[in-house]
Amino acid sequence: MITRMSELFLRTLRDDPADAEVASHKLLIRAGYVRPVGPGLYSWLPLGLKVLRKIEGIVRDEMTAIGGQEILFPALLPRAPYETTNRWTEYGDTLFRLQDRRDNDYLLGPTHEEMFTLTVKGEYSSYKDFPLILFQIQNKYRDEARPRAGILRGREFLMKDSYSFDIDDDGLKNAYHAHREAYQRIFARLGVRYVIVSAVSGAMGGSASEEFLAESEVGEDTYVRCLESGYAANVEAVITAVPESIPLDGLPEATVYETGDTPTIATLVEWANGAGLGRTVTAADTLKNVLLKTRTPGGEWELLAVGVPGDREVDDKRLGAALEPAEYAMLDDADFARYPFLKKGYIGPKGLLANGVRYLVDPRVVDGTAWITGADEVGKHVVDLVAGRDFTPDGTIEAAEVREGDPSPDGAGPLVAARGIEIGHVFQLGRKYADAFTADVLGEDGKPVRLTMGSYGIGVSRMVAVIAEQQHDELGLRWPAAVSPFDVHVVIANKDAEARAGATELAADLDRLGADVLLDDRSASPGVKFKDAELLGVPWIVVVGRGWADGVVELRDRFTGEKRDVAVDAAATEILAAIG
């Protein structure tokens, strides 16, 4: 196929769009791949759509290879199934809701667990029907609070979502690993640099979960990894390396001190270092107790205290993930007023536990660790309050911030932080949705078996931006051959009629040999054409220029910038051989 730029619906822009922040967004707009239609809403122009479809094709190919069967749901869905799983409410403002002419409630599907579960329940009835993997490639809708960075986080976006259905945990594990490997093949074919990180469930519920993050400084997801061992996890999923517990024998007694006006960690540490305790105290020696209230869906609010070393903040994302699916909120002044035993700035484990407040601590608060913390009276703190001796918390919680340099949970070395863009998610849902819809089939023994599920997503439209983000250079886009809108970009940079005719013939030869050719036959100057070729990012550029008179054309590698002359006589075959 030959596409003539003189006829192609394309206008490149010289300047970056005013509201674009990240390189992929700027370049995809400048190169005429996409256009904004509204916040988080984009149209795909011809070149952008070609890249999108190629990515979609690779994803479909690998999903089919692991036995996935493609089906397709509506994007417009009735409320009832999402009411059953409570996601109609849980999704909050992120869900696009609407009503039809009869005032019935509908939503635009953000993800389709409910529909797939109901469909499998509707069609299948026996253990013999499993394992089963179904997938769709479909527009999803999420009303993001801050749609950003172009198609990196749109409000309408193309996603591949698949779901595995099995009758036992082994089946689920097989499906999970098949997906994990398929995703590795997909991202390899797309030429994406990525890491697989341990993840927690978010709003989806369930157990084992990993995210595929494309390495990118503009990513919204922070993750940490241990360079020594390869351990990687997103911040929500980092498991704190737990120090060994300390024998209680011989530890100093807990002592309550008048500490004056010391409601903050800083003032407390300052007091401690002036109090003649015989050692240097840092914030890490103090135990900060943060008061929250939590509520399970439909339940009552109840108090929760979280104890973390005073040198660390509570990380909202980690806290939220740890409490999922319960809601939580910080205590406000009115709440404090309601519980007079809570002395703000002086709250300690003993008062909390004595008053029946659920008390969870950072995993570093192991038995035998001694803390400086509140003594439950204004102006008083306790020193050497020992966990496991003076107080026993109700459990631990992964809520403290993760910092670079923290030890990796596998003990192999320190953690380093990086940013990434979520491109895939594999997730053992388990029986959450099957329970919600009583998705049972007849087992081998004639008794009902509850199905177990996995859910697996790839952001297909997002991949266009991710590849642009990772591969671009200062001149423009650069597409790996597998997703490039064209195989080769032939630039006519010579006004001579014979050269023009020769270029057209060369394009025809390349086409005949199976290449998808973009032919720049416009009347623009060579300079303009070269700039556009660099901006558009087809991996191989053939310049029919001055060398024509000497019987050569120039072949440029857009990735390396290398140029070499190729004899016109055998140009088509030689070019195709070069570009693979």
Nearest to 568 by CA among 481, 494, 485: 494
**What's the closest the beta carbon of residue 196 comes to a second copy, in angstroms?**
29
Nearer to a second copy, 370 or 483 (CB): 483
Query: Before 131, cis peptide (omega within 30)?
Result: yes
**What's the closest the beta carbon of residue 499 comes to a second copy, in angstroms?**
23
Burial 72-110 (b: 16+ CB within 10 A, else e): eeebebeeebbeebebbebbeeebbeeeeeeeeebbbbb
Task: Restricting to residues 302-361, name those near a second copy by CB under 8 A.
Answer: none
Q: Which of 2, 20, 56, 75: binder of a second copy (CB under 8 A)?
A: 75
Task: Restricting to residues 1-20, name those near a second copy by CB under 8 A.
Answer: 7-11
**What's the closest the beta carbon of residue 153 comes to a second copy, in angstroms?**
14
Q: Which of 19, 21, 65, 69: binder of a second copy (CB under 8 A)?
A: 69
Nearer to a second copy, 284 or 528 (CB): 528
Terminal-to-terminal C-alpha distance of the chain: 17
**What's the closest the beta carbon of residue 561 comes to a second copy, in angstroms?**
30
Alpha carbon 74 to chain centroid distance?
Answer: 24
The one segment of 97-105, 185-193, 291-299, 382-390 that binds a second copy by CB under 8 A: 97-105
Q: Which of 28, 134, 415, 555: binder of a second copy (CB under 8 A)?
A: 134
The one segment of 16-24, 66-74, 291-299, 434-442 that binds a second copy by CB under 8 A: 66-74
Nearer to a second copy, 122 or 297 (CB): 122
Determine, following the binding rule CB under 8 A, whether residue 448 of this chain makes contact with a second copy. Answer: no
Cβ atoms 285, 273 nearer than 8 A: no
Determine, following the binding rule CB under 8 A, whether residue 141 of this chain makes contact with a second copy. Answer: yes
For residue 457, what are its two tokens?
């997503």
Task: Restricting to residues 144-173, name those near a second copy by CB under 8 A.
Answer: 145, 155-156
Backbone region of residue 280 per phi and psi (left: phi > 0; alpha: psi in -120 to 50; beta: other values): beta
3-class secondary-structure state, position 407:
strand
Question: Count of alpha carbons within 13 Å of 443, Cβ hemisphere only?
Answer: 10
Q: Which of 70, 169, 170, 228: binder of a second copy (CB under 8 A)?
A: 70
Positive/negative CA dihedral, 198, 199, 200, 205: negative
**What's the closest the beta carbon of residue 203 comes to a second copy, in angstroms?**
16
For residue 302, what are its two tokens?
């109840």
**What's the closest the beta carbon of residue 163 comes to a second copy, in angstroms?**
11
Q: Do the bridges between strand 448-450 and strand 440-442 make them parallel or antiparallel, or are there none, so unpaired?
A: antiparallel
Q: Which of 19, 57, 76, 563: binder of a second copy (CB under 8 A)?
A: 76
Determine, following the binding rule CB under 8 A, whether residue 257 of this chain makes contact with a second copy. Answer: no
One DSSP character per residue, 199-265 reads ---GGG--S-EEEEEEE-TT-SEEEEEETTT--EEEGGGPPPPPPPP---TTPPPPEEEE--S--SH
3-class secondary-structure state, position 78:
strand
For residue 367, what are its two tokens?
């038995």
Positive/negative CA dihedral, 422, 106, 438, 94: positive
Cβ atoms 165, 50 nearer than 8 A: no
Task: Restricting to residues 100-129, name those near a second copy by CB under 8 A.
Answer: 100-101, 106, 108, 115, 119, 122-124
Here's the x/- map for a second copy, 26-65, by CB under 8 A: it reads as: ------x--x-xx--xxxxxx--x--x-------------
Size of the site for a second copy (CB under 8 A): 50
Nearer to a second copy, 342 or 517 (CB): 517
Nearer to a second copy, 84 or 267 (CB): 84
**What's the closest the beta carbon of residue 3 comes to a second copy, in angstroms?**
9
Determine, following the binding rule CB under 8 A, whether residue 77 of this chain makes contact with a second copy. Answer: yes
Nearer to a second copy, 106 or 336 (CB): 106
Partners of 541 in beta bridges: 489, 556
Q: Which residues bind a second copy (CB under 8 A)?
A: 7-11, 32, 35, 37-38, 41-46, 49, 52, 67, 69-78, 93-94, 96-98, 100-101, 106, 108, 115, 119, 122-124, 132, 134, 139, 141, 143, 145, 155-156
